[in-house]
């Protein structure tokens, strides 16, 4: 099977304690809510539920970078709700489905193998409108058989790079990122090294999804962006990265 090394990937904090991802992911949940209407619009306009479910009466969805929940449960519930709504709006008997049977839904929860899947599985909603399965592995490689998925979804996960660009830790490189943990407030060579890594990673992600998706399938990606022309150090995430770098430096000095 086509694989992609994920040895260097760090997972979010597992469990449901004070410092767990599941209790510290309100920002990510808000991002899902902000774009919900846009996603619904796109599905209502472009996703042909009746056609895509005609061969097996099943719609297969994957959440790539799902973490430990609960945001993913809300996102998957939203997707299934709107897909059902779309199906009802298309309702007409076909040769394959003369009774207009509503399709069944299968959701694959994907994250790196070190993700706390136990917390995810034990907190799955009791009344969920889909069959659930976990899929460990990097979304930078192929995770599913060819033409097997109908909808690939990823929220606030694609900006995680597969690895730290090597130049950043190389003192002989112009992109040596000494004293920083990010490209905020860094020379252009550092920004370029991050950009090159992201371009490569995004290409791998899209190549893999192109193989896995059926014709007419859909990719939904939610990720942070930067307004054109806005300096990185003026963004909240940039300010946070600068503060973290200065705290780390203080800790090293102590």
Interface with ligand SAM (CB under 6 A) = 6, 9, 11-12, 25, 28, 65-67, 71-72, 110-112, 115, 138-140, 155-157, 160, 162
Contact (Cβ atoms closer than 8 angstroms) between residue 168 and residue 190: yes
Please state the closest distance from residue 82 (CB atom) to ligand SAM, in A: 17
Nearer to ligand SAM, 72 or 197 (CB): 72
How far is 6 from 157, CA to CA, in rounded Å? 14
Nearer to ligand SAM, 53 or 162 (CB): 162
Please state the closest distance from residue 229 (CB atom) to ligand SAM, in A: 26
How far is 254 from 252, CA to CA, in rounded Å? 6
Please state the closest distance from residue 79 (CB atom) to ligand SAM, in A: 13
Nearer to ligand SAM, 74 or 97 (CB): 74
Nearer to ligand SAM, 68 or 184 (CB): 68
Contact (Cβ atoms closer than 8 angstroms) between residue 117 and residue 134: yes
Report CA torsion sign: 200, 201, 206, 209.
positive
Please state the closest distance from residue 89 (CB atom) to ligand SAM, in A: 28
Characterize the bridge pairing of strands 104-111 and 131-136.
parallel
DSSP state of 155: E
């Amino acid at each position: 099977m086509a694989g992609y090394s994920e040895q260097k990937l760090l997972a979010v904090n597992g469990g449901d304690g004070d410092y767990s991802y599941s209790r510290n992911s309100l920002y990510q949940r808000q991002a899902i809510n902000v774009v919900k209407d846009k996603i619904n619009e796109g599905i209502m306009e472009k996703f042909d539920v009746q056609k895509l479910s005609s061969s097996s009466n099943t719609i297969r969805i994957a959440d790539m970078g799902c973490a430990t929940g609960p945001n993913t449960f809300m996102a998957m519930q939203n997707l299934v709700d709107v897909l059902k709504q779309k199906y009802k709006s298309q309702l007409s008997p076909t040769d394959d489905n003369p009774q207009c049977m509503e399709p069944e839904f299968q959701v694959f929860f994907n994250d790196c193998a070190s993700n706390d899947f136990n917390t995810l599985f034990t907190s799955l909603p009791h009344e969920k409108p889909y069959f659930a399965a976990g899929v460990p592995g990097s979304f930078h490689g192929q995770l599913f058989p060819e033409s097997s998925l109908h909808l690939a979804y990823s929220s606030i996960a694609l900006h995680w790079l597969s690895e730290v660009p090597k130049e950043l830790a190389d003192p002989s490189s112009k992109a040596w990122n000494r004293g920083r943990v990010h490209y905020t407030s860094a020379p252009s060579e550092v920004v370029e090294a991050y950009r090159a890594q992201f371009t490569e990673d995004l290409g791998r992600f899209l190549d893999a999804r192109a193989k896995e998706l059926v014709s007419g399938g859909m990719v939904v990606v939610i990720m942070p962006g930067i307004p054109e022309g806005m300096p990185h150090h003026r963004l909240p995430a940039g300010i946070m990265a600068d503060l973290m770098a200065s705290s780390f430096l203080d800790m090293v000095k102590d």
